[in-house]
Amino acid sequence: MLRTSTAFVALLAALIIGGASAIAQPVVSIVSNPASAYVCFGASHNLICIANTPASSRTTYQWYRDGVMLNGRTGNFMTLNISDYSSGGVYTCAVTAEDTVAFTGTTTVFSEGASVMVVRETQITSHPTSVSTTKGGTAHLMVSVEAIGAPQNFVPSYQWMKRTWNTTTLTYNDTPINDNGRVYGSQSSILTITNANDSDTTGLYVCEVTGFCKGAIKSRVARVFMPAVAVSNMTPNLCQGGTLSLSCDNNVSSLPEGSASCQWFKGSAKLANGNGVTGATANVLKIANVTAATAGEYSCVVTYGSTNLRVASNPITVTVGAEPSIVRNPETTTACEGQVMTMSAVATGEGLTFQWMKGSEILKGETGATLSKVVTPEDAGFYSVVVSNMCGVKTSRIAELNIEPLPAIESQPNDVAFSEGAPISFTVMAKGRNIYDYQWYLNGVAIDGATKQTYTVASAKRSDEGQYYCQLTNLCGTVKSRVATASVAMGVTDDVVSGGYIMSIARPNPTTDVATISYTLPSVETVRMVISDLTGRELATLSNETVNAGSHAVTFSASELNVTPGVYNVTLTAGTFVATQQVVVVK
């Protein structure tokens, strides 16, 4: 603190004046004393002393520092160039007035002392250091400065800045930080960042300090670290009996607080080594011979040094798989041709896949728990499903698929011409199996009791003429035969004549082998002539072609047709004309 040493000035005056006589002295008074000041090292400072002395006197000045006379400093104005710290001290000026005209003595008066304090350049004694925090946590950056010799009430000014790299100018840019409620202390020695987020870790922090001397100076840079900890599963396809391996990775292995250490948790429970667990406090956790109880949520916490800086990882859910278990197998089933067949299986386990098989053949695209398709007879066979996941493969029991064909007719009933009193018979032959119902109709009306493959009228009458058909039914539906016409002929021992059509009797009849049947058509017709036994079973087709109007003949050989001796029907169909003649084959 600057001060004026009054005692020192009085002592100095006494030494100089000594024992001067008490004769009248010139009157000297100090008008302006030199001023105390704080002066920066390397700067200059002016000291001025102004005094009133008699006009007739000779006035001289002499400067002193801490009581020591400064040689050559004899003016009332003195400039100090502060080149070293010894320039500081208490400066006084001795004013001497000597007047030998009006007086017989001299007078010396000392100014008040002026303290000159040499102030060192402001220096940063403690630079900010990089700090770490957690997301949402708080970080403090601090700087300390000193200005030796500065006034006690002097306070440096601070401005914290964010330094970032400008990719355009390829230079660093320092941007002042402002208090915003989350960040405060931007113009103090301590910068506080609360509720830290990722943006706080980008760039560098620097503090600009303005002191008493030299102006602004900048601190060294510091960073804010936010350690990130992540857990990854190195055994994502984990099955019972296997080994779980989890990795805890952190992006910062060491901080000012100390090196990183790890602690694993399952849920909120801290894990310890033993019972198959290793690495409970290491970066890699392993659990051998896992069971379903191993499944759960795992995490790790990284601690830096012995401080409370703890960073928790993301939680990771561990599932433990088991091999598939088929709880319901596909079942043997019967389906009708053309209909949708469905087989299904039920299995338990994680990540199941299904593949249906027919025998040893893989059914492409059939990868669901249910097999569904429109079936054909070729689909009949033995089916199974293979269920698999990352932990194993199971095959279901075999289920048989039976295909019921749609009802179909292999042989249709034929038209007949009959003489009254003669028998008539209609036969239909079904194709397929499990035909369980026949029903014959005459002119669209069901015939009572006509539920056999063959319908026979033992003694036909004219009322038996008409349109006959049979309706066949099995498990998969119903089919209707062709309509067969029964008409009364003029006779089977004579020619059959009707509407311009004529069918002659066989000649010779009986025959031992060859016989000829003539017929006449009134117009061009498609003619079909067949020979059948008395049950209606066709033995051979004698003619099946388009024939012009007029008379024609068909000859056949019983031996060539492998026809044995007996009575046979030869039926001619031409348009709506149907007629039958009997032929007898003898040895």
Task: Give tens-digit pLDDT for 301-346.
Answer: 988 876 667 788 889 999 898 899 999 999 999 999 899 999 999 9
Q: Are residues 12 and 115 in the same domain?
A: yes
- Check pLDDT > 50 for residue 4: no
Q: At 569, which CATH number?
A: 2.60.40.1930
- Check pLDDT > 50 for residue 21: no
pLDDT digits (tens, 9 = 90+) for 497-531: 888 899 999 999 888 899 999 999 999 999 999 99
Q: At 379, which CATH number?
A: 2.60.40.10
Q: Are residues 136 and 86 in the same domain?
A: no
**pLDDT of amino acid 102:** 62
Q: How many CA atoms lie within 13 A of 213 on its CB side?
A: 22
Range of the domain at 437: 408-486
Q: Are residues 302 and 345 in the same domain?
A: no
Q: Are residues 538 and 573 in the same domain?
A: yes
Write down which residue in 452, 486, 520 finishes a domain. 486
pTM for the whole thing? 0.44
What's the length of the chain?
A: 587
Is residue 549 assigned to a domain?
yes
The answer to whether 77 and 93 are in contact (CB under 8 A) is no
- Is residue 473 classed exposed, middle or buried when 0-12, 13-18 and 19+ CB atoms within 10 A define those classes? middle
- Check pLDDT > 60 for residue 471: yes
**pLDDT of amino acid 13:** 44
Q: Are residues 16 and 91 in the same domain?
A: yes
- Check pLDDT > 60 for residue 490: no
Give residue for tokens 């000649």: 507
pLDDT digits (tens, 9 = 90+) for 114-170: 999 999 888 899 999 888 887 888 999 999 998 888 888 888 999 999 999 888 988
Least confident residue range of 145-159, 170-184, 422-436, 449-463: 422-436
Least confident residue range of 33-47, 98-112, 397-411: 98-112
What single-letter amino acid sits at 116? V
Supply the DSSP string of 216-265, one letter for each residue.
EEEPPPB-EE---EEEEES-SS-BTTS-EEEEEEES-SEETTEEEEEEEE
Q: Are residues 462 and 399 in the same domain?
A: no
Residue 41 CA to residue 22 CA, distance in Å, equals 46
| Greatest Cα-to-Cα distance within the chain, rounded to the nearest angstrom | 204
Q: Tell me the pLDDT band of 491, cut-offs 50, 70 and 90.
A: very low
Q: Are residues 284 and 341 in the same domain?
A: no
Is residue 544 assigned to a domain?
yes
Q: b/e map of 369-404 (b: 16 or more CB within 10 Å)?
A: bebeeebeeebbeebbbbbbbebeebebeebebebb
**pLDDT of amino acid 133:** 82
The answer to whether 258 and 306 are in contact (CB under 8 A) is yes
- Check pLDDT > 60 for residue 16: no
Strand partners, 6: none
Q: Are residues 94 and 144 in the same domain?
A: no
Contacts of 293 (CB under 8 A, 6+ apart): none
**pLDDT of amino acid 3:** 39
- Is residue 165 classed exposed, middle or buried when 0-12, 13-18 and 19+ CB atoms within 10 A define those classes? exposed
Q: Are residues 481 and 498 in the same domain?
A: no
pLDDT digits (tens, 9 = 90+) for 537-559: 899 999 999 999 999 999 999 99
Residue 581: other Cβ atoms inside 10 A: 25
Residue 231 CA to residue 159 CA, distance in Å, equals 40
Q: Are residues 12 and 111 in the same domain?
A: yes
Peptide bond between residue 26 and the one before it cis (omega within 30 degrees of 0): no
Q: Considering its fold, how many domains does the chain have in total?
A: 6
Is residue 1 assigned to a domain?
no
Nearest to 424 by CA among 368, 465, 390: 465
pLDDT digits (tens, 9 = 90+) for 241-292: 999 999 998 877 777 667 888 999 999 999 999 999 999 999 999 999 999 9
Task: Determine the distance from the C-alpha atom of residue 322 to the mean position of all C-alpha atoms in its chain, rounded to a whole number.
Answer: 24
Q: How many CA atoms lie within 13 A of 67 on its CB side?
A: 12
Q: b/e map of 519-556 (b: 16 or more CB within 10 Å)?
A: bbbeeebebbbbbbeeebeeeeebbeeeeeeeeeebeb
Contacts of 8 (CB under 8 A, 6+ apart): 67, 90, 92, 113
Query: Strands 244-250 and 284-287, how do they pair?
Result: antiparallel
Mean pLDDT across the chain: 87
Task: Determine the distance from the C-alpha atom of residue 21 to the mean position of all C-alpha atoms in its chain, rounded to a whole number.
Answer: 110
Give residue for tokens 């003539």: 518
> Which DSSP symbol is given to 8?
H
Q: Are residues 130 and 221 in the same domain?
A: yes
**pLDDT of amino acid 433:** 63
Is residue 305 assigned to a domain?
yes
Least confident residue range of 465-474, 480-489, 491-500, 539-548: 491-500
Distances (CA, A) of 436 to 90, 125, 346, 451: 139, 111, 36, 10
- Check pLDDT > 50 for residue 110: yes
**pLDDT of amino acid 493:** 58
Q: What angle do CA 195, 201, 202 make, to 5 degrees?
A: 130
Q: Are residues 30 and 71 in the same domain?
A: yes
Residue 450 CA to residue 440 CA, distance in Å, equals 5
pLDDT above 70: percentage of residues in the chain:
93
**pLDDT of amino acid 131:** 84
Distances (CA, A) of 315 to 10, 229, 383, 586: 84, 10, 45, 102
Write down which residue in 381, 404, 427 finishes a domain. 404
pLDDT digits (tens, 9 = 90+) for 164-209: 988 898 889 999 999 999 999 999 999 999 999 888 988 899 999 9
Distance separating the N- and C-terminal Cα atoms of the chain: 164
Quote the tokens at residue 371.
């097999």
Write down which residue in 225, 240, 267 finishes a domain. 225
